[in-house]
Chains A and B, each alone.
Chain A
């Protein structure tokens, strides 16, 4: 039961290394649309096109290039890319552990889950459990495709979540936005505090529905009843005639049917 994910490798801390796979933690919400061809309602897919030869280019004919001048590129292969940081391409190395509450929310970027690969289930569970007990998260770096990420690895329920972080240098300064500080009026402060206290609740994401999605669902429901659905044509593997033998046999059978009717 192999689960193939976005990336396969190891997560390590000190002398312990755990084989893992990186999988998605985020998916499109309930209402997400597909683009269709208005002619035959076939779903559209993104493909790369060579504008000069006017052909669709399959993945094995694609190479990445870095632009150093107009139409001048330095080509970089997957191998060369991986060799830039060879250790980090296959290992999420936890460099230290931190208290996640020290990380300002602005640092968090994309979440993923890590799932253990064969043989790593026990060590994985240990890491989840000890991170939960100590209430700490691991800070690590790893390379995924072209980029090196700084990530936080934390326990979420029974799993490990990996959340990519922005680098310090990517976070804009907000110094110029800070307002002048003045004396806070005590009465104003106490009124506001009361207001906030009256509105305290527990964070429960299930409570927050996307109203626009609800409206879209209503619209879709209505349309389903009024107009019905369109169907996409099936994509053929090869366009071609059916096997000759079969056609011949069917035609013979058809002759018999017509005779008897």
Chain B
């Protein structure tokens, strides 16, 4: 079951207006740990500490600053920031449509499900069309005083809204300054063949969080007072550059 509706809005572009309700699409499930003081096993609290005086600072002594220069800040108070907040609006404004394939997953942030609100004919038409044309709508909206950029998507029967990262939030690949390396056609061909042999269709149900299960088992064991065997993490031996072709060929033999 999808999460409760957290927001209502309407998709708008041209003369089209589709009222929708937003639902969360993901619910994380993991073993929660608390941080404790080793000495007395007391649960620790997170505090904001003043780097200069090294004392905890209560919220009323905290102020927001924007670092213009090294160690120099411009102070802003909450009322000033409020004035920069976008006006409340229920509109999910679609600015353009792009081919779905053009959106690199690196830009995808959080996904929401959209449920039609009251009327659903236009919703269905839009959902069907977006899938048929393989396009996403690039849109902006404001929710809870924050502005969002997102992609309006279709999964066939339902519409989804996926927030996108802004370009200044994604570190460009060029900043990694990776070296160029020449590779032989042989290595590239065998590599490609290997990948094709190892290609499967995406079936997410194949993958479960095994670590989670084993972690839970570890905890249960410890709770019963049993001893835990410490297994050292094993690092795989790296393939030396001059043995790369050999390793590729051996791999291909194994799978083909």
Contact = CB atoms under 8 A, between A and B. Distances in A.
Asked whether the complex places CB atoms of A and B closer than 8 A, the reply is: yes
B134 to A, nearest CB: 9
Interface size class of B (residues with CB under 8 A): 35 or more
Given A33-B65, A173-B1, A47 B49 contact: yes
Nearest to B102: A203
B93 to A, nearest CB: 11
Contacts of B129: 189, 192-193, 196
A14 B199 CA distance: 12
A105 B57 contact: no
Contact of A212 (B45, B57, B84): B84
B174 A157 contact: yes
In this complex, the member of B74, B80, B101 whose beta carbon has the largest number of chain A beta carbons within 10 angstroms is B74
Nearest to B246: A15
Nearest to A200: B97
A33 B181 contact: no
Given A79-B230, A212-B147, A121 B170 contact: no
Contact of B74 (A139, A211, A229): A229
B202 A139 contact: yes
Interface string A46-84: 111111110011000111111110010111100111111
Contacts of A148: 209-212
A55 B200 CA distance: 54
A37 B162 contact: no
Contacts of B188: 126, 129-130, 133
A15 B202 contact: no
B173 interface: yes
A108 B30 CA distance: 17
Contacts of A91: 235-236
A121 B36 CA distance: 41
A117 to B, nearest CB: 8
Contacts of B29: 167, 169-170
A150 B28 CA distance: 13
Contacts of B101: 101
A62 B105 contact: no
Contacts of A119: 238, 240-241
Interface string A190-203: 00110110111111
B178 A115 contact: yes
B146 interface: yes
Contact of B41 (A19, A75, A202): A75
Interface string A27-43: 11111011111111111
B235 A56 contact: no
Contacts of A200: 96-98, 135
Q: Majority SS of interface residues in chain A?
A: mixed
Interface stretch (A219-227, A240-248, A252-260): A219-227
Nearest to B242: A122
A86 B108 CA distance: 31
In this complex, the member of B75, B105, B222 whose beta carbon has the largest number of chain A beta carbons within 10 angstroms is B105
Contacts of A85: 210-211, 214
B173 A113 contact: yes
A96 B206 CA distance: 12
A106 interface: yes
A6 interface: no
A181 B157 contact: yes
A55 to B, nearest CB: 9
B6 interface: no
A116 B176 CA distance: 10
Contact of A37 (B43, B53, B214): B53
Contact of A98 (B37, B73, B199): B199
A184 B162 contact: no
B34 A38 contact: no
Nearest to A24: B171
A208 B138 contact: yes
A25 interface: yes
A82 to B, nearest CB: 5
Contact of B230 (A30, A83, A147, A209): A83
A249 interface: no
A167 B44 contact: no
16 contacts: A10-B235, A13-B195, A28-B169, A44-B48, A76-B222, A90-B234, A97-B199, A115-B178, A121-B241, A123-B241, A170-B29, A174-B23, A176-B1, A179-B158, A198-B14, A212-B85
Given A13-B198, A106-B111, A202-B102, 12 more contacts: A27-B170, A46-B49, A64-B36, A97-B195, A98-B201, A111-B170, A150-B209, A185-B121, A196-B129, A199-B96, A208-B138, A219-B80
